[in-house]
Amino acid sequence: MTNPFKYFAFISYSSKDTAWGKRLQKKLEGYRMPATLCNERGWKRKPMDPVFFAPTDIQPGGLTEEIQERLRASQHLIVICSPNSAQSEWVGREIAYFHSLGRTKNIHFFIVEGSPHGNNKETQCFNPIIKELGLPEILGANIHEQIYRWPWLNKERAYVQLISKLLGVEFDAIWQRHKRLTAQKAILWTIGAVAIIATMFGIWKANQNFDVEIHLNEASVHNINLPPLKDAVVTLRLDNETKSDTIRSLDTCIVFSNIPHRYLNKEVTFSISCPTFMDTTVTVALHPNMTLDIQRDEHYYGNVSFRLYNPDTETYLNGVSIKIAGIETISNSNGRVSVFVPLEQQEQYYIISCPLPFENDTIFMPCGVSDVVVVK
């Protein structure tokens, strides 16, 4: 059946309540009714579209012929009730004119502020014309009616009250569905808000610098006879920057500050240089607290090498039996003695055992090609 009216409803309001008028127009025009009701009654899914609201078409003013035409073309009149509209001459004229069209039953009230009862002009929300015309007892949909704990749900209930009256359907026929859909929307909005907050936090976090604390660990066999690690230079290489600092001992650490967060958990390169330890270069994932392994250079105290020299004959002695750190060897044809002492047996100096007498039977490490032990 074709609706003879151009507009489903005309919204009457005070200019001070413009925001409410726009909100209500959007709510009604976009409201989708259940498909079952639409099929039963021959409605489209949005049966309250269009709704006339003056700011979208013409500016409100006196009841010009144009305003009267809009009222005649509207099936319903919705009055936004507040102390503002109660004191508005133009709202009163629009109600009176719509009443004169014989559509009193199609006048509906949506209370956004004030009290529907009482004689206080400052808080009364109904225009005096309503009483003058002798309109029936007015209830109206009131957004402040405290049915539920949450104000937003009471507001939604008022919308559905108005919609059920406009369409002539039972309130519960659409309210339960509306609550369910509203709850789903609230959940989706919450999930969306959480996702946005998480994304923003992730972006913020991704732009925060962090500090990296570095410790060193001696991964090689520990030998208490050898001096501990001292003054290890640690270098961190990033894409466009190099940071260096010195760790004084294994009991201390260094901190590289203000590392861009984009390097967290990304692979970077560390280089470590320390006397008596092997130079180390390692690529690892970067974390705020890191321990890097370092190996002692087993050759520094382990390669014992010198020549036996007799100053009386001015010759280097070959074939002489020598014992160093419990390891036996024989000097070669050039008088060279070479021994490798395993790391766990190494010391900072060694006592040389030999059948021949020495001026000094101690060899200090490191030693090498230029070292000579003199035989008496």
Answer with the one of 294, 316, 351 that is the final residue of a domain: 294
Sign, CA torsion 171/172/173/176:
positive
Judged against a pLDDT cut of 50, whether residue 57 lies above it is answered with: no
Of 170-184, 207-221, 253-267, the range with the lowest mean pLDDT is: 170-184
Question: Does 85 fall in a domain?
Answer: yes
Q: What is the rounded average pLDDT for all residues in the chain?
A: 90
Lookup result for tokens 């919705």: 78
Residues 188 and 215 in one domain: no
**Cα 2 to Cα 29: distance, rounded to the nearest angstrom:** 18
Which tokens is 238 given? 């990033």
Three-state DSSP string of 104-132: HHHEEEEECCCECCCCCCCCECCCHHHHH
Residues 226 and 369 in one domain: no
Question: Does 93 fall in a domain?
Answer: yes
Q: How confident is the model at residue 75 (pLDDT cuts 50, 70, 90)?
A: very high
Choose between 119 and 294: higher pLDDT. 294
**Mean predicted confidence (pLDDT) in 120-139:** 85
Question: Does 2 fall in a domain?
Answer: no
**Mean predicted confidence (pLDDT) in 103-131:** 89
CATH number of the domain that 361 lies in? Answer: 2.60.40.1120
Of 27-41, 51-65, 251-265, 345-359, the range with the lowest mean pLDDT is: 51-65
Residues 195 and 216 in one domain: no
Judged against a pLDDT cut of 90, whether residue 257 lies above it is answered with: yes
Residues 115 and 233 in one domain: no
**Cα 307 to Cα 305: distance, rounded to the nearest angstrom:** 7
Choose between 135 and 133: higher pLDDT. 133
Question: Does 84 fall in a domain?
Answer: yes
Q: How confident is the model at residue 137 (pLDDT cuts 50, 70, 90)?
A: low
Answer with the one of 187, 207, 227 that is the final residue of a domain: 207
Q: How confident is the model at residue 2 (pLDDT cuts 50, 70, 90)?
A: low
**Cα 235 to Cα 182: distance, rounded to the nearest angstrom:** 58
Please state, for a pLDDT cut of 90, what percent of the chain lies above it: 64
Question: Does 22 fall in a domain?
Answer: yes
Predicted pLDDT of residue 36: 75
Residues 158 and 180 in one domain: no
Predicted pLDDT of residue 62: 60
Judged against a pLDDT cut of 60, whether residue 59 lies above it is answered with: no
pLDDT per residue over 83-98, tens digit each? 999 999 999 999 999 9
**Cα 274 to Cα 280: distance, rounded to the nearest angstrom:** 9
Q: Which of 27, 50, 25, 47 is nearest to 35 (CA)?
A: 47
Q: What is each CA distance from 193 to 151, 213, 334, in whole angstroms?
A: 20, 36, 84
Residues 65 and 101 in one domain: yes
Residues 239 and 346 in one domain: no
Answer with the one of 145, 169, 193 that is the final residue of a domain: 169
Q: How confident is the model at residue 149 (pLDDT cuts 50, 70, 90)?
A: confident
Q: For residue 240, what is the enclosing H or E element?
A: none
**Mean predicted confidence (pLDDT) in 126-145:** 85
**Mean predicted confidence (pLDDT) in 337-363:** 94
CATH number of the domain that 280 lies in? Answer: 2.60.40.4130
**Contact yes or no for 323/282 (Cβ under 8 A):** no
> Using the 8-state DSSP alphabet, how is residue 277 labeled?
B
Question: Does 1 fall in a domain?
Answer: no
Give the residue numbers spanning the domain of 199. 175-207
Residues 313 and 218 in one domain: no
For residue 76, list its beta bridge partners.
9
Question: Does 21 fall in a domain?
Answer: yes
Residues 196 and 165 in one domain: no
Choose between 285 and 172: higher pLDDT. 285
**Mean predicted confidence (pLDDT) in 102-107:** 93
Judged against a pLDDT cut of 80, whether residue 359 lies above it is answered with: yes
Of 4-13, 48-57, 125-134, the range with the lowest mean pLDDT is: 48-57
Non-local (6+) Cβ contacts of 84 within 8 A are: 14, 16, 17, 113
**Cα 20 to Cα 180: distance, rounded to the nearest angstrom:** 24
Residues 162 and 46 in one domain: yes
Residues 183 and 276 in one domain: no
Judged against a pLDDT cut of 80, whether residue 207 lies above it is answered with: no
CATH number of the domain that 29 lies in? Answer: 3.40.50.10140
Residues 65 and 90 in one domain: yes
Lookup result for tokens 């014989």: 102
Which tokens is 93 given? 């004229």
Three-state DSSP string of 295-357: CECCCCCCEEEEEEEECCCCEECCCCEEEECCEEEECCCCCEEEEECCHHHCCCEEEEECCCC
Judged against a pLDDT cut of 80, whether residue 206 lies above it is answered with: no
Question: Does 126 fall in a domain?
Answer: yes
> Using the 8-state DSSP alphabet, how is residue 254 labeled?
E
Q: How, if at all, do strands 7-12 and 74-81 pair?
A: parallel
Non-local (6+) Cβ contacts of 32 within 8 A are: 45, 46
Please count the structural domains in the chain.
Answer: 4
Sign, CA torsion 272/278/284/287:
negative
